[in-house]
Amino acid sequence: MNLRNLLYVIQPGAQTAEKGVINMQKKLFLGAALGLAMFANTAFAEVNTDYLANELRSYPGWPLEVYCNATDVNVRTQPNTDCDVITMLQRGDKFYVSMVVDVVNSEYKWLLGTTERGHVGFMASKYLDTTPRAASAAGRFNAALEADWIMDPEIFASGAYYPGPVEQNTDDIISYADKKMQVGPRLFYIDSARNKVNDVKINKLHGSMAGYAVGQQLDTDRQIALDGYLKMNGWENDSMGVGISDTHHMIGWVKYAYNARGQKCLHKSFYVKLDSRDVIAEIMYCESDVHLAN
């Protein structure tokens, strides 16, 4: 099975994504305590691939966060050492695992996942460790969110789940961006002067983030669940950034961080645009550089 087929397996459509989220919400809290004991015997432990494979089969919508335990570790295009290297991770870098891949006669157990920057590839499990929090409800949701938090259109395009053409600039741009680029379901707003993406909009079926997809219904119960998962990871409701029109309404959250001066600054924003039937029309997210704050 090649990488593109594997990506298709782990990136379901809206209905599959919705089912995975519902099952996760029902079962994850019950299994977390048992999972912690099986996943790691110490505060920091090498990945237990048997347990990891079982968890990923049970809840395919949300990956598990692990971290690199060595320097210059390769992320590869295929689960072997004879293929191309996509990028390298350093000690402490995170990797969000979506699948355990058993290769006959291989000296390694291979894990398919996503780097913090959005590279999708394979890593040998011996170079990856985990913490107990990774198997908790908060840890699983945060891994799903961070794995889909893609701010680099070129990296996303190199392994895009939904390949699409680049759109030309139009007059429909936001104030801090002079350029935009559509890659599959994601529309990247770019500040050319700083060569930085300011804002990303997921605006096509069935583009998804953390298992929530455009075209999926997000009723009151699911909105409450999403709010709970975000708040478990330090997010707050954004009462200023939401709005209501005749056809749509917006719900949103923000997350703060401290800069070098100790000032609390806006770091991330996350919004979901819903139509009158509470069906997701768009998913938007933004990342601010806290070190640029005055």
Q: What is the CATH number of the domain that holds 28?
A: 2.30.30.40
In terms of domains, do 175 and 114 share one? no
The CA–CA distances, whole Å, from 206 to 216, 221, 230, 251, 271 equal 8, 21, 22, 19, 17
Using CA atoms, how far residue 54 sits from 39, 50, 98, 123, in Å, is 11, 6, 11, 18
Q: 3-class DSSP state for residue 269?
A: strand
Question: CA-to-CA distance for 149 and 180, rounded, in angstroms?
Answer: 17
Do residue 143 and residue 157 come from a single domain? no
Residues 193 and 100 grouped into a single domain: no
pLDDT at residue 61, as a whole number: 78
Please check the confidence at residue 201 and state whether its pLDDT lies above 80: yes
Task: Give yes or no: residues 94 and 186 share one domain.
Answer: no
Which of 113-122, 166-175, 215-224 has the weakest average pLDDT?
Answer: 166-175
Asked whether residue 275 falls in the same domain as residue 202, the answer is yes
Mean per-residue pLDDT, 132-158 = 91
279 and 182 in one domain? yes
32-80, pLDDT tens digit by residue? Answer: 444 444 444 444 456 788 888 888 877 777 999 999 999 999 999 999 9
Query: Which has more confidence, 217 or 25?
Result: 217
Burial, 232: exposed, middle or buried (Cβ in 10 Å; 0-12, 13-18, 19+)? middle
Q: Which residue, of 99, 128, 147, is where some domain finishes?
A: 147
The band of 275, judged by pLDDT with boundaries at 50, 70 and 90, is very high
User: Which pLDDT score is estimated for 54?
Assistant: 83
pTM of the model: 0.81
Work out the burial of residue 245: count CB atoms within 10 Å of its CB; fewer than 13 is exposed, 13-18 middle, 19 or more buried.
exposed
Indicate if 215 and 79 belong to the same structural domain.
no
Q: What residue numbers bound the domain in which 30 lies? A: 3-147
**Domain identity same for 114 and 244:** no
DSSP per position, 70-85: SSSEEEESSSSTTS-E
pLDDT confidence of residue 173: 62
Average pLDDT over residues 227-256: 89
The structure tokens 């997921």 sit at: 202
Residue 12 has pLDDT above 60, yes or no: no
DSSP count for the chain of H helices, then E strands: 6, 17
Tally of structural domains, the chain: 2
Residue where one domain finishes, among candidates 147, 165, 190: 147
Q: Can you give the pLDDT at residue 170?
A: 64
Give the number of other CB atoms < 10 A from CB of residue 283.
24
Query: Do residues 129 and 209 share a domain?
Result: no
Provide the pLDDT confidence category of residue 270 given band limits of 50, 70 and 90.
very high
Q: What confidence score (pLDDT) does residue 137 get?
A: 86
Among 147, 162, 197, identify where a domain stops: 147
Span 202-214, pLDDT tens digits? 999 999 999 999 9
Contact between residue 215 and residue 208 where contact means Cβ atoms under 8 Å apart: no
Greater confidence (168 vs 191) lies with 191
Q: What is the mean pLDDT of residues 251-270?
A: 93
pLDDT computed for residue 29 by the predictor: 43
Across-strand partners of 265?
A: 257
Indicate whether 139 and 18 sit together in one domain: yes
Separation CA 189–CA 180 (nearest Å):
4
In a shared domain, residues 143 and 21 = yes
First-to-last alpha carbon distance for the chain, in angstroms, is: 51
CA neighbor of 26 nearest in space, from 51, 58, 57: 58
Distance CA 102, CA 53 (A): 10
d(Cα 128, Cα 135) in Å, to the nearest integer?
Answer: 15
Q: How far apart are CA 138 and CA 28, in angstroms?
A: 10
Helix locations, the chain, DSSP H: 3-10, 14-39, 49-58, 137-147, 153-158, 220-232
pLDDT of residue 248: 92
Give 174's pLDDT tier (boundaries 50, 70, 90). confident
Query: What percent of the chain has pLDDT above 70?
Result: 80
124 and 200 share one domain = no
